């Protein structure tokens, strides 16, 4: 069974699995406990909570936090967690948006062009990841499975390689027809192929997609003479990088992800729950950063600038590092920006448009530290565009008249920043508007 839920949706313990009103889920008790195990595992890590447990009207409830991806329970139930815009769109549209954004994520398991297949947005993320891996394996098979010389010893009818005298005397003292030899065999059974074989066997057991299963059977035939890895960590360390395996590189991040139990963020649960979850704040940040480099080609756009700290000297060192998401530079003009995966309401003036006061303090500090030597100090807060936030807010002026905060939407459908005409980003070389 395949289900979906949007960020911040609720999962209730019930008698069976179904999508219920409000975009929430009800899960049978066993599947609910499988998902709950992710929260229990997460308590041992330094990660933000993926799920929040509570009780409502006598029922156990799990509220999804700002993570997206897929969870697969031991029973095989697949639950996709899609961006919160899914409440205003269909699951297919939200999945298409998510995969498009995940392509730009650093160390992404998805490659550019993943949506070129017209039905890719209809495929659950779990199956789509495995499809990506199988496409990479297909490239490996077409370009040639790497082989290497492997040391072997065996009792043979004729001499091959070199005679191992001590072992030969011990084994063949009564049988003069054999010789015990040590020799090199040109074999496929090398660490990188064992890793591929191991991942293929996992896909074969877990995929429910007929196309994936068919391709997996075909590739397992090609790797028939290879043992599946029994020690993925050891085999990854043992990979000998040479020209024979250069064409393997695109497959290895996804291979590692599959062998780790599709768990880049959480440990494998006690009841074998699998997850592939990504923090949506990071997904949005990496996506906007990549796209702004294309939109503003005459600006240098850097991610995660780290040159300043809030406190410059404390016991001889700088502390409280200031690390904005984006730094724009063109000649002697600089801007600083931060991305926030939050939904604003441009009509909620009394509620400060749902902008966090802490975020404004943060941008104020960026203006003071990163733009101190610049007359006009412009900082941006970038939020996703929605029906309730489809145009820039009026500028927020700090204490000085040359310090301004612009709160602007990023249009995920059009892939463009919508910013105020008086922003430095659109001066001189750039047209007015987004």
Mean pLDDT confidence for 325-351: 89
Complete edge-to-edge strand list for the sheet that includes strand 24-28: 18-20, 24-28, 10-14, 59-64, 51-56
What values do phi and psi take at 229, rounded to 5?
A: -60, 140
Look up residue 407 and give its two tokens: 């709160």
**Range with the poorest average pLDDT among 135-139, 303-307, 380-384:** 303-307
Arithmetic mean of pLDDT over the chain: 82
Give the closest residue to 113 by CA, choosing from 121, 105, 103, 123: 103
From residue 54, give the alpha-carbon distance in Å to each of 71, 154, 286.
19, 63, 32
> How far are the Cα atoms of 168, 177, 180, 268, 350 from residue 173, in angstroms, in the given order?
8, 10, 11, 53, 96
pLDDT at 221 over 90: yes
CA of 167: how far to CAs of 147, 151, 170, 175, 182, in Å? 28, 16, 5, 13, 10
Task: Give the pLDDT mean for 420-431.
Answer: 64
Per the CB < 8 A criterion, the answer to whether 381 and 408 are in contact is yes
Q: How far apart are CA 181 and CA 168, in angstroms?
A: 8
> Looking at residues 356-367, what average pLDDT do you find?
87
d(CA 340, CA 329): 21
pLDDT value at residue 272: 59
pLDDT of residue 225: 86
Q: What is residue 216's predicted lDDT score, i.e. its pLDDT?
A: 95
The pLDDT value recorded for residue 310 is 55
More confident residue, 260 or 293: 293
For residue range 175-185, list pLDDT tens digits in order.
Answer: 888 899 888 77
Q: Which two tokens stand for residue 434?
A: 């987004």
The pLDDT assigned to 86 comes to 56
Residues 140 and 236 sit within 8 Å (Cβ to Cβ): no
* Span 215-234, average pLDDT: 92
β-pairing verdict for 78-82 and 2-6? parallel
Rounded Cα–Cα distance for residues 9 and 332 (Å):
46
The yes-or-no verdict on residue 328 having pLDDT over 80 is yes
Token pair belonging to 260 = 């780790």
Q: How confident is the model at residue 275 (pLDDT cuts 50, 70, 90)?
A: confident
Residue 345 contacts residue 408 (beta carbons within 8 Å): no
373/382: higher pLDDT: 382
Q: Residues near 10 by Cβ (< 8 Å), separated by ≥ 6?
A: 22, 24, 25, 56, 61, 62, 63, 64
Entry pTM: 0.74
pLDDT at 261: 66
Query: Which among 252, 250, 278 has a CA at the least distance from the CA of 265?
Result: 278
Is a pLDDT exceeding 50 seen at residue 196?
A: yes
Strand pairing of 2-6 and 51-56?
unpaired
- Beta bridge mates, 19: 25
pLDDT at 154: 84
Contact, 377 vs 402, CB < 8 A?
A: yes
């Amino acid at each position: 069974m395949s289900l979906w839920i949007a960020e911040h949706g609720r999962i209730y313990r019930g008698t069976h699995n179904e999508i219920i009103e409000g975009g929430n889920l009800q899960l049978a008790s066993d599947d609910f406990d499988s998902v709950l195990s992710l929260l229990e595992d997460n308590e041992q890590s330094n990660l933000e909570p993926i799920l929040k447990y509570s009780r409502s009207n006598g029922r156990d409830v799990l509220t999804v936090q700002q993570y997206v991806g897929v969870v697969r329970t031991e029973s095989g139930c697949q639950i996709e967690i899609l961006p919160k815009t899914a409440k205003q769109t269909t699951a297919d549209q939200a999945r298409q948006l998510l995969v498009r954004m995940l392509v730009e994520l650093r160390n992404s398991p998805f490659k550019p062009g993943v949506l070129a297949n017209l039905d890719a947005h209809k495929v659950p993320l779990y199956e789509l990841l495995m499809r990506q891996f199988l496409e990479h394996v297909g490239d490996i098979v077409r370009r040639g499975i790497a082989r290497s010389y492997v040391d072997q010893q065996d009792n043979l009818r004729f001499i091959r390689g070199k005679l191992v005298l001590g072992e030969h005397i011990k084994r063949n003292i009564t049988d003069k027809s054999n010789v015990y030899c040590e020799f090199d065999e040109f074999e496929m059974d090398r660490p990188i192929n064992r890793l591929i074989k191991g991942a293929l066997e996992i896909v074969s057991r877990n995929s429910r997609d007929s196309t994936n299963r068919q391709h997996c059977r075909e590739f397992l035939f090609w790797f028939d003479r290879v043992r599946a890895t029994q020690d993925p960590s050891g085999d990854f360390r043992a990979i000998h990088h040479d020209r024979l395996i250069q064409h393997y590189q695109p497959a290895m991040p996804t291979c590692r992800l599959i062998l780790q139990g599709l768990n880049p963020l959480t440990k494998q649960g006690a009841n074998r729950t699998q997850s592939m979850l990504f923090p949506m704040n990071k997904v949005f940040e990496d996506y906007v950063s990549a796209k702004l480099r294309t939109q503003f080609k005459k600006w240098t756009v850097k991610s995660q600038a780290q040159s300043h700290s809030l406190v410059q000297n404390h016991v001889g060192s700088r502390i409280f590092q200031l690390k904005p998401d984006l730094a724009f530079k063109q000649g002697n003009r600089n801007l600083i920006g931060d991305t926030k995966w939050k939904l604003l309401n441009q009509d909620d003036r009394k509620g400060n448009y749902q902008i966090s006061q802490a975020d404004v303090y943060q941008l104020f500090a960026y203006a003071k530290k990163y733009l101190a030597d610049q007359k006009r100090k412009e900082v941006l807060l970038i939020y996703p565009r929605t029906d309730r936030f489809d145009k820039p807010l009026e500028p927020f002026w700090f204490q000085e008249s040359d310090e301004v905060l612009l709160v602007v939407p990023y249009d995920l459908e059009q892939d463009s920043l919508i910013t105020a005409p008086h922003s430095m980003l659109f001066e001189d070389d750039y047209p007015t508007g987004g």
